[in-house]
Structure 1
Amino acid sequence: MTVTTVAHYRFPPAAREAVLERLLPVAQTTRDEPGLKYFHILETPSEEGHLILIEGWKDQEALARHRERPHFRDGLLGSVVPLLYERSVHISTPAFEEQFS
Protein backbone atom coordinates (compact mmCIF):
# COMPACT_ATOMS: atom_id res chain seq x y z
CA MET A 1 0.00 0.00 0.00
CA THR A 2 1.32 3.43 -0.92
CA VAL A 3 2.50 5.53 2.00
CA THR A 4 2.51 9.32 1.64
CA THR A 5 4.37 11.68 3.90
CA VAL A 6 3.55 15.37 4.06
CA ALA A 7 6.12 17.37 5.98
CA HIS A 8 5.91 21.05 6.87
CA TYR A 9 9.20 22.84 7.46
CA ARG A 10 9.09 26.29 9.00
CA PHE A 11 12.17 28.45 9.36
CA PRO A 12 13.11 32.12 9.60
CA PRO A 13 12.84 33.68 6.12
CA ALA A 14 16.49 34.76 6.39
CA ALA A 15 17.49 31.08 6.55
CA ARG A 16 15.78 30.20 3.23
CA GLU A 17 18.95 29.95 1.14
CA ALA A 18 20.76 27.86 3.75
CA VAL A 19 17.77 25.51 4.09
CA LEU A 20 17.48 25.06 0.31
CA GLU A 21 21.24 24.61 -0.10
CA ARG A 22 21.32 21.83 2.50
CA LEU A 23 18.05 20.27 1.35
CA LEU A 24 18.95 19.97 -2.34
CA PRO A 25 21.48 17.12 -2.05
CA VAL A 26 19.14 15.24 0.28
CA ALA A 27 16.32 15.63 -2.25
CA GLN A 28 18.50 14.56 -5.16
CA THR A 29 19.60 11.40 -3.39
CA THR A 30 16.08 10.64 -2.19
CA ARG A 31 14.73 10.84 -5.74
CA ASP A 32 16.99 7.94 -6.73
CA GLU A 33 15.83 5.62 -3.95
CA PRO A 34 14.06 2.38 -4.78
CA GLY A 35 10.45 2.44 -3.67
CA LEU A 36 9.95 6.18 -4.17
CA LYS A 37 6.92 6.92 -6.34
CA TYR A 38 6.90 10.74 -6.18
CA PHE A 39 8.62 13.56 -4.37
CA HIS A 40 7.76 17.25 -4.39
CA ILE A 41 9.11 20.22 -2.50
CA LEU A 42 6.75 23.17 -2.53
CA GLU A 43 7.12 26.72 -1.28
CA THR A 44 4.21 28.61 0.18
CA PRO A 45 4.19 32.11 -1.38
CA SER A 46 1.75 33.42 1.20
CA GLU A 47 3.96 32.32 4.08
CA GLU A 48 7.68 33.02 3.85
CA GLY A 49 9.83 30.43 5.53
CA HIS A 50 7.51 27.50 4.83
CA LEU A 51 8.25 24.45 2.70
CA ILE A 52 6.00 21.46 2.16
CA LEU A 53 7.60 18.14 1.23
CA ILE A 54 5.33 15.47 -0.24
CA GLU A 55 6.72 11.97 -0.72
CA GLY A 56 5.00 8.84 -1.96
CA TRP A 57 6.54 5.49 -1.10
CA LYS A 58 5.71 2.05 -2.47
CA ASP A 59 5.08 0.77 1.05
CA GLN A 60 5.97 1.22 4.70
CA GLU A 61 9.17 -0.80 4.27
CA ALA A 62 10.48 1.58 1.58
CA LEU A 63 9.81 4.54 3.87
CA ALA A 64 11.53 2.78 6.76
CA ARG A 65 14.61 2.08 4.59
CA HIS A 66 14.67 5.74 3.54
CA ARG A 67 14.75 6.85 7.15
CA GLU A 68 17.78 4.64 7.82
CA ARG A 69 19.90 6.04 4.96
CA PRO A 70 22.78 8.44 5.68
CA HIS A 71 21.38 11.27 3.56
CA PHE A 72 18.23 11.22 5.70
CA ARG A 73 19.92 10.81 9.08
CA ASP A 74 22.95 13.02 8.52
CA GLY A 75 21.82 15.30 5.69
CA LEU A 76 18.24 15.98 6.69
CA LEU A 77 18.12 15.38 10.43
CA GLY A 78 21.70 16.50 11.06
CA SER A 79 21.98 19.45 8.69
CA VAL A 80 18.56 20.76 7.61
CA VAL A 81 16.44 20.24 10.72
CA PRO A 82 18.70 22.34 12.99
CA LEU A 83 17.83 25.38 10.81
CA LEU A 84 14.08 24.89 11.36
CA TYR A 85 11.99 26.20 14.19
CA GLU A 86 9.21 23.72 13.40
CA ARG A 87 8.97 20.42 11.56
CA SER A 88 5.82 18.33 11.39
CA VAL A 89 5.49 15.10 9.45
CA HIS A 90 2.21 13.40 8.68
CA ILE A 91 2.15 9.83 7.37
CA SER A 92 -0.95 8.65 5.55
CA THR A 93 -2.26 5.87 3.34
CA PRO A 94 -4.99 6.11 0.69
CA ALA A 95 -8.55 5.59 1.83
CA PHE A 96 -9.52 4.37 -1.65
CA GLU A 97 -6.26 3.13 -3.18
CA GLU A 98 -7.91 0.49 -5.36
CA GLN A 99 -10.37 2.99 -6.86
CA PHE A 100 -7.88 5.81 -7.51
CA SER A 101 -4.51 4.21 -8.21
Structure 2
Amino acid sequence: MPQPIYTVAHITAEPSSVKDVYEALLKAVEETRSEEGCLHYDLFRVLDNPANWTMLEAWQSEAALVKHTTGDAFRALSRAIEDKATIVVFRLAPVALNSGEHSTIRPSFWIGNGLP
Protein backbone atom coordinates (compact mmCIF):
# COMPACT_ATOMS: atom_id res chain seq x y z
CA MET A 1 0.00 0.00 0.00
CA PRO A 2 1.45 3.40 -0.92
CA GLN A 3 2.21 5.85 1.84
CA PRO A 4 -0.36 8.65 2.26
CA ILE A 5 0.37 12.12 0.95
CA TYR A 6 0.42 14.76 3.71
CA THR A 7 0.03 18.50 3.22
CA VAL A 8 -0.10 21.45 5.56
CA ALA A 9 -1.58 24.76 4.46
CA HIS A 10 -1.04 27.95 6.46
CA ILE A 11 -3.76 30.50 5.72
CA THR A 12 -3.60 34.17 6.71
CA ALA A 13 -6.63 36.37 6.09
CA GLU A 14 -6.54 40.06 5.39
CA PRO A 15 -7.85 41.85 8.53
CA SER A 16 -11.03 42.98 6.77
CA SER A 17 -11.75 39.47 5.44
CA VAL A 18 -11.35 37.22 8.48
CA LYS A 19 -15.04 36.26 8.67
CA ASP A 20 -15.34 35.58 4.92
CA VAL A 21 -12.19 33.46 4.84
CA TYR A 22 -13.24 31.51 7.94
CA GLU A 23 -16.66 30.72 6.48
CA ALA A 24 -15.10 29.63 3.17
CA LEU A 25 -12.65 27.36 5.01
CA LEU A 26 -15.44 25.72 7.03
CA LYS A 27 -17.43 25.09 3.85
CA ALA A 28 -14.37 23.56 2.19
CA VAL A 29 -13.80 21.26 5.17
CA GLU A 30 -17.39 20.03 5.05
CA GLU A 31 -17.28 19.36 1.31
CA THR A 32 -13.75 17.94 1.13
CA ARG A 33 -14.01 15.35 3.89
CA SER A 34 -16.33 13.25 1.74
CA GLU A 35 -14.01 13.26 -1.28
CA GLU A 36 -12.64 9.92 -2.38
CA GLY A 37 -9.15 9.37 -0.98
CA CYS A 38 -9.41 12.02 1.75
CA LEU A 39 -8.05 10.53 4.98
CA HIS A 40 -7.93 13.78 7.00
CA TYR A 41 -8.85 17.37 6.26
CA ASP A 42 -8.69 19.24 9.55
CA LEU A 43 -8.74 22.98 10.19
CA PHE A 44 -6.98 24.55 13.17
CA ARG A 45 -7.07 28.16 14.37
CA VAL A 46 -3.89 29.79 15.58
CA LEU A 47 -4.67 30.64 19.21
CA ASP A 48 -3.08 34.06 19.38
CA ASN A 49 -4.15 35.31 15.94
CA PRO A 50 -7.74 34.91 14.73
CA ALA A 51 -6.71 35.71 11.14
CA ASN A 52 -4.50 32.59 10.89
CA TRP A 53 -5.42 28.95 10.38
CA THR A 54 -3.62 25.74 9.56
CA MET A 55 -5.16 22.98 7.47
CA LEU A 56 -3.73 19.49 8.01
CA GLU A 57 -4.47 17.10 5.17
CA ALA A 58 -3.78 13.44 4.46
CA TRP A 59 -4.59 11.85 1.12
CA GLN A 60 -4.62 8.19 0.21
CA SER A 61 -2.56 8.79 -2.92
CA GLU A 62 -1.09 11.38 -5.24
CA ALA A 63 -4.04 10.79 -7.56
CA ALA A 64 -6.51 11.60 -4.76
CA LEU A 65 -4.69 14.85 -3.97
CA VAL A 66 -4.61 15.85 -7.65
CA LYS A 67 -8.32 15.08 -7.97
CA HIS A 68 -8.98 17.27 -4.90
CA THR A 69 -6.98 20.21 -6.27
CA THR A 70 -8.91 20.10 -9.54
CA GLY A 71 -12.30 19.49 -7.92
CA ASP A 72 -15.25 21.71 -7.17
CA ALA A 73 -14.62 22.26 -3.44
CA PHE A 74 -11.01 23.34 -3.95
CA ARG A 75 -11.94 25.65 -6.83
CA ALA A 76 -14.77 27.20 -4.82
CA LEU A 77 -12.43 27.82 -1.88
CA SER A 78 -9.81 29.35 -4.16
CA ARG A 79 -12.37 31.74 -5.66
CA ALA A 80 -13.86 32.61 -2.26
CA ILE A 81 -10.57 33.63 -0.67
CA GLU A 82 -8.81 35.10 -3.71
CA ASP A 83 -7.41 38.53 -2.75
CA LYS A 84 -8.63 37.94 0.83
CA ALA A 85 -5.93 35.61 2.16
CA THR A 86 -2.48 34.25 1.52
CA ILE A 87 -1.80 30.53 1.61
CA VAL A 88 1.50 28.71 2.00
CA VAL A 89 1.33 24.96 1.34
CA PHE A 90 3.90 22.35 2.33
CA ARG A 91 3.96 18.71 1.26
CA LEU A 92 5.33 16.54 4.04
CA ALA A 93 7.07 13.20 4.39
CA PRO A 94 6.75 11.38 7.73
CA VAL A 95 9.83 11.22 9.93
CA ALA A 96 8.32 9.83 13.15
CA LEU A 97 4.80 8.47 13.46
CA ASN A 98 2.69 7.08 16.29
CA SER A 99 3.54 3.64 14.96
CA GLY A 100 6.72 3.70 17.02
CA GLU A 101 9.08 4.67 14.24
CA HIS A 102 12.04 6.74 15.38
CA SER A 103 12.88 10.12 14.00
CA THR A 104 16.10 10.60 12.11
CA ILE A 105 16.05 14.20 13.33
CA ARG A 106 16.64 14.82 17.02
CA PRO A 107 16.20 18.52 17.77
CA SER A 108 17.99 19.78 20.85
CA PHE A 109 15.72 22.76 21.35
CA TRP A 110 12.25 23.38 22.67
CA ILE A 111 9.48 24.52 20.34
CA GLY A 112 6.61 26.17 22.10
CA ASN A 113 5.78 29.35 23.95
CA GLY A 114 9.35 30.38 24.50
CA LEU A 115 12.70 28.72 24.77
CA PRO A 116 14.02 27.16 28.00
TM-score (norm 2): 0.74
Counterpart secondary structure, 1:37: strand
**What residue in structure 2 maps to residue 94 of structure 1?**
94
Change (3 A) 1:100 1:37: farther
Count of matched residue pairs: 98
Q: Could you tell me the percent identity over the aligned residues?
A: 23
Which moves more between the two structures, 15-24 or 26-35?
15-24
Q: What letter matches 2:83 in structure 1? A: P
Which moves more between the two structures, 13-22 or 25-34?
13-22
| Structure in which a larger fraction of residues adopt helix | 1
Counterpart secondary structure, 1:34: coil
Q: What letter matches 2:23 in structure 1? A: E
CA distance in 1, matches of 2:4, 2:82: 25
Unaligned runs of 5+ in 2: 102-116
Q: Is the 8 A contact 1:2 1:94 kept in 2?
A: no
Unaligned runs of 5+ in 1: none
CA distance in 2, matches of 1:93, 1:81: 28
Bigger relative CO (Cα 8 Å, ≥ 6 apart): 1
TM-score (norm 1): 0.84
CA distance in 2, matches of 1:55, 1:22: 17
Change (3 A) 1:42 1:61: same
- CA offsets 1:10-44 (integer angstroms, 9 cap, x no match): 11344221112222222111000111111110001
